[in-house]
Amino acid sequence: MSHAAFDPYAPPRSDVDAPVQSGRFAAHRIGDDLCIDKRAPWPAICCKCSTRNRIQYRGHTFVWATPWFWLGLAGGWVILAIVYFIARKRARVELPLCRRCNGRWRTAQLWRALVLVWAITAPIAAVLLDAGPAVGLTLVTSMFVVPIATILLYVRPRVVRARRIDDRMITLRGVAPGAIEAIFEAARG
């Protein structure tokens, strides 16, 4: 029996691929997510659909806060906002997108803004219309349902989003598998 066959002291296996690193940048996969240096140069391949035609680079600032910041809600909205601004991390990334995916991203950002405006204006409309409890309840319910449904079903499939940001790396969800492989090739040099 060789020593390499079984090591009872070895750490458990994980779904994290071995990091690929050259002198330029590091990248690895965590499940379906891509973990990459914040300042890594992306190859000219669309990060959403993996095409190499008519690529445009889109600068995007990702913002992420650890989920425990929601504990600040126990102290009220002001405390939550303070904890969020202290705990958040930011990363500016130049993402390669084809013209079609860039347009889908732009449309998704527009819809995100519109549904957030709806979430703010729905209770105001419920008060101003004063059309009765049924209409008021419908408007107030829609201030939660419409934004959540729109973001989950329409916005998320069209954008790349940050799952985690630290001082050096950013973990992104929504990057096409073909683009991840091209990034690994670029990281190898």
pLDDT at 18 (0 to 100): 53
Across residues 72-100, what is the average pLDDT?
86
Percent of the chain scoring above 90 in pLDDT: 49
Which pair of tokens denotes residue 118? 């709806």
How far apart are the C-alpha atoms of 16 and 7, rounded to whole Å? 20
Look at the alpha carbons of 170, 176, 177, 181 in this order and tell me if their dihedral is positive or negative.
Answer: negative
3-state DSSP assignment of residue 157: helix
How many residues are present in the chain?
A: 189
**Which pTM does this prediction carry?**
0.75
- The pLDDT of residue 55 is above 90: yes
pLDDT at 2 (0 to 100): 43
- Which strand ranges, in their side-by-side order, compose the sheet holding 26-30? 20-21, 26-30, 33-37, 169-173, 161-165
pLDDT digits (tens, 9 = 90+) for 159-179: 999 999 998 999 999 999 999
